[in-house]
């Protein structure tokens, strides 16, 4: 893996970043069994040193905790980083559509102009920056027209507080409305070898409109790393507890997949996680792959996946292995 890390553009924004990005949901602790701030800061620093320039976070990741940790980690390094963060999950007001409770606090989906104006200022403070490179609507708000949301985002862009606009967790109809409103640079959607629904719907639409796609859960919550032993138990608020994908039987399937792709991993001196990240980045329409890391070792491993160049034979063998082993994983 001697190639340089892949760099890609965020739509029409003129911003470029590493194709492998650091996702910081787990760093916020919520739904991941807590967080270790010192280890998280080291993970972010290691990511940057290994060539990752795209860091994705959100206020909802630990009610501001993830953004605060990212802000501490990038102090003095802001010019090396493309920050993506989000708006629209609001616990400061009762406006919008109730979505969930976090630590007993109600969180609403709200993308009204007043909510966005408030949220961006809070994120700027937590991140310790004067601008956000890519500002993304986190979940869509059925109580606010997308035209109003986009008008508020374009104003932030005109004011220099954000440089590019994104949207996440969309329906195809939502995406059509964002495109009609104008100015959308990126979408962020769940995508991995286990989650390929957007291939036939959203990705072609995004590509036709020069909109970048950031995949999240690119390693299926860690399942596709091949490092979660069948006997491992999840505890506390870890979202993988009780998730049928993480059944012992499915983890055995992943172990068989790992064995099947071992020759490809060996050829590239790579781990299964690195091969799966590299595979994700070859898929048509996927511009960036966001991958979580909670320690420096994971961060460096993910970053190096951006140096792998899979050839046609690798991809054919991978597709055959995926079709054979990733069967009925949600049953």
pLDDT, one tens digit for every residue, the chain (331 residues)? 557 889 999 999 999 999 999 999 887 655 545 568 898 999 999 999 999 999 999 999 989 999 999 999 999 999 999 999 999 999 998 899 999 998 889 999 999 999 999 999 999 999 999 999 999 999 999 999 999 999 999 999 999 999 999 999 999 999 999 999 999 999 999 999 999 999 999 999 999 999 999 999 999 988 999 988 777 777 666 667 777 888 888 999 999 999 999 999 999 999 999 999 999 999 999 999 999 888 899 999 999 999 999 999 999 999 999 999 998 887 5
Q: How many CA atoms lie within 13 A of 316 on its CB side?
A: 3
Q: pTM, whole model, 2 decimals?
A: 0.94
pLDDT (0 to 100) of residue 294:
82
* 110 among known catalytic residues: no
Out of 61, 178, 191, 216, which one is annotated catalytic?
Answer: 61
132-137 and 82-87 beta bridge pairing: parallel
pLDDT (0 to 100) of residue 293:
86
Phi, psi dihedrals of residue 134, rounded to the nearest 5°: -130, 115
pLDDT (0 to 100) of residue 233:
72
DSSP single-letter state for residue 226: S
Question: Contact at 8 Å (CB) between 234 and 34?
Answer: no
- Report how far apart, in Å, the C-alpha atoms of 125 and of each of 37, 150, 167 are: 18, 22, 22
pLDDT (0 to 100) of residue 29:
54
What is residue 278's three-state secondary structure? Answer: helix
Q: Which residues contact 15 (CB under 8 A, 6 or more apart)?
A: 9, 82, 133, 134, 163, 164
pLDDT (0 to 100) of residue 4:
82
For the chain, where are the alpha helices, taking DSSP H only?
A: 25-28, 37-49, 65-73, 113-127, 146-158, 172-181, 202-208, 248-260, 262-267, 272-282, 296-305, 312-325
Question: Contact at 8 Å (CB) between 321 and 257?
Answer: yes
pLDDT (0 to 100) of residue 263:
98
pLDDT (0 to 100) of residue 136:
98
């Amino acid at each position: 893996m001697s190639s340089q890390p892949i760099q890609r553009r965020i739509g029409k924004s003129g911003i470029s970043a590493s194709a492998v990005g650091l996702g910081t949901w787990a760093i916020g602790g919520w739904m991941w069994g807590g967080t270790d701030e010192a280890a998280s800061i080291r993970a972010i620093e290691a990511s940057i040193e290994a060539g990752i320039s795209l860091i994705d976070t959100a206020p909802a990741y630990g009610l501001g905790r993830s953004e605060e940790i990212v802000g501490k980690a990038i102090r003095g390094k802001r010019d090396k980083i493309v920050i993506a963060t989000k708006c629209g999950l609001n616990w400061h007001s009762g406006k919008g559509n109730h979505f969930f409770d976090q630590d007993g606090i109600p969180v609403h989906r709200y993308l009204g102009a007043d909510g966005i104006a408030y949220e961006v200022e809070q994120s700027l403070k937590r991140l310790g920056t004067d601008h956000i490179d890519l500002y993304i609507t986190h979940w869509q708000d059925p109580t606010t027209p997308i035209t109003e949301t986009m008008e508020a985002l374009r104003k932030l862009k005109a004011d220099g507080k954000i440089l590019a606009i994104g949207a996440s967790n969309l329906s195809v109809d939502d995406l059509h409305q964002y495109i009609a409103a104008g100015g959308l640079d990126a979408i962020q959607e769940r995508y991995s070898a286990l989650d390929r629904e957007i291939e036939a719907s959203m990705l072609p639409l995004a590509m036709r409109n020069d909109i970048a796609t950031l995949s999240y859960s690119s390693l299926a919550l860690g399942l596709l790393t091949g490092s979660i032993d069948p006997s491992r138990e999840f505890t506390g608020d870890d979202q993988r507890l009780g998730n049928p994908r993480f059944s012992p039987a499915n983890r055995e399937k992943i172990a068989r997949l790992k064995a099947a792709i071992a020759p490809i991993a060996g050829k590239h001196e790579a781990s299964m996680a690195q091969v799966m990240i590299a595979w994700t980045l070859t898929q048509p329409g996927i511009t960036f792959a966001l991958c979580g890391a909670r320690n420096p070792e994971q961060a460096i491993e993910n970053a190096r996946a951006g140096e792998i160049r899979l050839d046609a034979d690798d991809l054919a063998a991978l597709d055959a292995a995926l079709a054979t082993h990733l069967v009925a994983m949600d049953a």
